[in-house]
Amino acid sequence: MKYKILPVLSLFLLGCSFGLSADVLNVSTPESTLLLQATKGGQLKFLYYGDLLDAKEVKSVAETTPARYDAYPFFGSYPQNESALSVVHPDGNLTLDMEVEGWKTVKNGNATETVITLKDRKYPVTVNVNYLTREGDNVIETWTDVTNKSDSVLKLLRFDSGYLPIRKSDVWMSQLYGTWANEGRVEEAPLPHGMKVIQNKDGGRNSHTSHAEVMFSLDGKGRENEGRVIGAALCYSGNYKLRVNTDDTDYHHFFAGINEENSSYNLQPGETFVTPALALTYSSEGLSGVSRNFHRWGRNYRLAHGDRPRKVLLNSWEGVYFDINEDGMDRMMGDIASMGGELFVMDDGWFGVKYPRNNDSSSLGDWYVDTRKLPHGLKGLLDSAKKHGVKFGIWYEPEMTNSVSELYESHPEWIVNSVGRKPVEGRGGTQLVLDMGNPEVQDHVFDMIDTLLTNYPDIDYIKWDANAPIMSLGSNYLTKDNQSHTYIEYHRGFAKVMDRIRAKYPDVTIQACASGGGRANWGVLPWFDEFWVSDNTDALQRVYMQWGTSYFFPAIAMGSHISAAPNHQTFRTIPIKYRTDVAMSGRLGMEIQPANMTEEEKDFCRNAIAQYKEIRDVVQFGDIYRLLSPYDNKGAASLMYVSPDKDEAVYYWWKTETFVGQQLPRVPMAGLNPDKHYKVLELNRIDNSPLPYEGRTFSGRYLMSNGLEMPVTHDVDYHKRNDYSSRVLRLQAVD
């Protein structure tokens, strides 16, 4: 790639007490400014991150702000402070003493990269600290690369992607936590004194429990559509660690990077270690403002096909589980086609010859069609799909095997395992993880997907699953000195395979599934079009999970399916209306056996799918405004999406609990143009009579200051009453 080096336009010289000249580096986006101070032969300092500053303000702020903290702190001179990078030099020295050697800005298309090079005053080590912005976009990506210029190994003990000091006031942190089937729960609390650590050590997946993204609300508990908020997302597929040290200074000190535990890295002579990007964004429009920044950046630069509308699909898992057969698949394809769906995905259970995959205890790796179940193979299924006029997708778990499989019988050395020990087995009592750091394994995984997509170019979609953590850490492939590289090499190998697949098959849709929501991270999304939010499809619990997930990820990436009642995870019985109204706030799909649905339910879904297609662009490409949080326990939750031109919006309201005599708040809308007038239409209506405001027109100003009343119950015949209530409204600007 060719870079054009431009002069650093936005720099100016500052007087500096050491007689060295300091320059101010201005890394601005349309709505934010990050200021750094670089002194040749001196330090790289952080000055400011917040609201956009104009040139005059930059000068005043830079001249009056004490440059207290390093922009990227090294372990060494002040070991009592937390650091972002710590090493062991070949002679055993533990310290870094880095000075700025120079900096440059590099323009590449609409991206501008500011690169500051630091070098150690004594040892041959250099570090580039990088900041990347893109025209019109509000996210700053920062990362570092560390180069060993000596002729011996430099051991890296810690290697964070970035650091940010945050001025103490009443700073609240929003984080996501959870577990399998309960991902993306929101927790918001003031930052405590001491060290707050959020981390992952699963090895393979990294978002079931805590997430690698956080928000900092600078002015007390975060509000959705006002207040200053900083968002941070570490873009990495593997183990991570986010640390916030609240010490005796005036600042909270935020660090984010690859989790260094059991991952010390031997940097060879001449080798450069590149950390994953840390995406930072600032908004004065509250938590939803930060979400909108991440969503836009994600769709434009980080999500596979972020500009392509997603198809409405039926996935076979909760409909038939492992009970795959040709007739059943054909029927499901016909059913989803008849409801207006566009894609059918055959889940687990279709493969295995010597060991048929009838449950989760065998066959991963043996990606050969079980012709006892599917006599006409994938060709037969693709023919069925064509006949019904839908696309066809298929489930894989490419990074995995089972001890009961032909693959493991021929390559027992291909698994991640502490060398010489009996492997620890996961799901089904036999699941094992392939050692993706091994180039032979990479070739094998690539070849398998390559063969599939070459032989069956009509395959439209792959559900790429990952259902085991890394167990018994170690690699047969890596040398004994480099066993601590196992996690990192796994993810490098995974990235290489995905890069190869994407280079050859840029158009196929790939879903990141990992026992549900284990791979909701911006580090994987450049290769994936979407992720499966959770194996829990209960609509009420999804309100909470999807709410949290939307903090960082856009609806277009969130697989959200209508499933059966009673729900298979919670056994809760939720009416089809509510199940659909929740699923329609993400990438709509179905996860159900249509043969078990009533004709009335099918009609309802047929109508809902048709309506979803009309609002799909607003949901998938619009701006989110969260309005009423389910976590605030007000009895309802509400959010909306608004098209960028503010001509179209979709408003969702879901009741989250039911008591007689309940007093629910009226929810003012947000994000509309106050001066435009919007016509209101209810979607998925079940009531006998329309809402009083159906078809009426209101100004954006009224809708945002007053909002519309949502009746607490539905006006339906007595025998159809239940304890659920939800609304989806479409708003269209009229002249």
Q: Please identify, using beta-carbon distances, which residue of 103 and 395 lies nearer to ligand GLA.
A: 395
Contact criterion met (CB below 8 Å) for 390 and 341: yes
According to DSSP, the residues that pair with 469 across neighbouring strands are none
Distance CA(454)–CA(158), nearest Å, equals 42
* Beta strands 272-274 and 125-134, pairing class: unpaired
If one asks whether residue 28 binds ligand GLA (CB under 6 A), the answer comes out as: no
Verify binding: residue 366, ligand GLA, rule CB under 6 A: no
- Does 396 bind ligand GLA (CB under 6 A)? Our answer is no
Using CB under 6 A, count the residues that bind ligand GLA.
12
Residue 120 CA neighbour count, 13 Å, CB half: 24
> Catalytic pick from 535, 538, 581, 623?
535
Say how far apart CA 580 and CA 652 lie, in whole Å.
Answer: 11
C-beta of 141 vs 366, nearer to ligand GLA: 366
Q: Does 317 bind ligand GLA (CB under 6 A)?
A: yes
Choice between 236 and 532, CB closer to ligand GLA? 532
Q: Is 341 in the site for ligand GLA (CB under 6 A)?
A: no
Given 513, 605, 639, 667, the residue binding ligand GLA (CB under 6 A): 513
Residue of closest CB approach to ligand GLA: 348
**Alpha carbon distance 523, 298 (integer Å):** 11
User: Following DSSP, what letter does each residue of 461-501 receive, concatenated?
Assistant: EEEE-------S--BSSS-GGGGGGHHHHHHHHHHHHHHHH
Would you call 529 a catalytic residue per the annotation? no
Calpha distance 523→41 (Å, rounded)? 34
Nearer to ligand GLA, 475 or 515 (CB): 515
Question: Is 535 a residue that touches ligand GLA (CB under 6 A)?
Answer: yes
Check: CB of residue 362 under 8 Å from CB of residue 370: no
Segment near ligand GLA (CB under 6 A), from 79-87, 327-335, 513-521, 695-703? Answer: 513-521
The token pair at 82 is 């937390």
Does position 469 interact with ligand GLA (CB under 6 A)? The reply is: no
Instruction: Pick between residue 137 and residue 535 the one whose CB is nearest to ligand GLA.
Output: 535
370 binds ligand GLA (CB under 6 A): no
Q: Please identify, using beta-carbon distances, which residue of 127 and 329 lies nearer to ligand GLA.
A: 329
Instruction: Name the one range near ligand GLA by CB under 6 A: 146-154, 334-342, 417-425, 509-517.
Output: 509-517
C-alpha neighbours within 13 Å on the C-beta side of residue 105: 19
**Contacts of ligand GLA in 658-687 (CB under 6 A):** none
688 Rama class: left (phi>0) / alpha (psi -120 to 50) / beta: alpha
Under rule CB under 6 A, residue 399 binds ligand GLA:
no
Determine the interface stretch with ligand GLA among 30-38, 116-124, 332-340, 511-519 (rule: CB under 6 A). 511-519
Residue 489 binds ligand GLA, judged by CB under 6 A = no
Whether the Cβ atoms of residue 87 and residue 320 lie closer than 8 Å to each other: no
Angle, CA 659 vertex, CA 658 and CA 664 arms, to 5°:
75
Residue 530 makes contact with ligand GLA by CB under 6 A: no
- The least CB distance from residue 407 to ligand GLA, in Å, is 17
Is residue 465 flagged as an active site residue?
A: yes
Residue of 120, 137, 202, 465 that binds ligand GLA (CB under 6 A): 465
Beta-strand pair 194-199/154-167: unpaired
User: Smallest gap, in angstroms, from Cβ of residue 612 to ligand GLA?
Assistant: 21
In the complex, least distance from residue 535 CB atom to ligand GLA, rounded to whole angstroms: 5
Cβ-in-10-Å burial (0-12, 13-18, 19+) of 600 comes to exposed
- For ligand GLA, the closer of residues 348 and 460 by Cβ is 348
CB 343 within 8 A of CB 316: no
Tokens encoding 578: 């509510």
- CB neighbours of 12 closer than 8 A, spacing ≥ 6? 23, 24, 59, 62
Helices and strands (H and E) in the chain: how many: 12, 38
CA distance 108 to 194: 41
- In three-state secondary structure terms, 337 is helix
Site string for ligand GLA, 90-129 (x = CB under 6 A): ----------------------------------------
Based on CB atoms, which residue is closest to ligand GLA, 434 or 670? 434
Among 46, 123, 265, 395, binds ligand GLA (CB under 6 A): 395
- Least distance from C-beta 591 to ligand GLA, angstroms? 8
Instruction: Tell me the closest approach of the beta carbon of residue 729 to ligand GLA, in angstroms.
Output: 31
The answer to whether 184 contacts ligand GLA (rule: CB under 6 A) is no
The CA distance from 413 to 499, in Å, is 24
Whether the ω angle into residue 526 lies within 30 degrees of 0, i.e. cis, is no
Up-side HSE of residue 328: CA atoms within 13 Å toward CB? 20
| Smaller CB separation from ligand GLA, 113 or 366 | 366
Among 26, 206, 210, 515, binds ligand GLA (CB under 6 A): 515
Site membership for ligand GLA, residue 348 (CB under 6 A): yes
Q: Which stretch binds ligand GLA (CB under 6 A): 22-30, 512-520, 639-647, 713-721?
A: 512-520
Residue 357 CB, shortest distance to ligand GLA, in Å, is: 9
Instruction: Give the other-Cβ count within 10 Å of 207's Cβ.
Output: 29
Of 180 and 693, the one with the shorter C-beta distance to ligand GLA is 180
**How far apart, in whole angstroms, are the C-alpha atoms of residue 271 and residue 273?**
7
With binding defined as CB under 6 A, does residue 516 bind ligand GLA?
yes
Q: Which of 120, 202, 465, 529 is catalytic?
A: 465
Q: What are phi and psi of 682, to 5 degrees?
A: -85, 135
Q: Return the number of the residue (396 or 678) whose C-beta is nearest ligand GLA.
A: 396
Angle at 190 between CA 188 and CA 196, to 5 degrees: 90
Residues that bind ligand GLA (CB under 6 A): 317, 347-348, 360, 395, 465, 467, 513, 515-516, 532, 535
Active-site annotation, residues: 465, 535
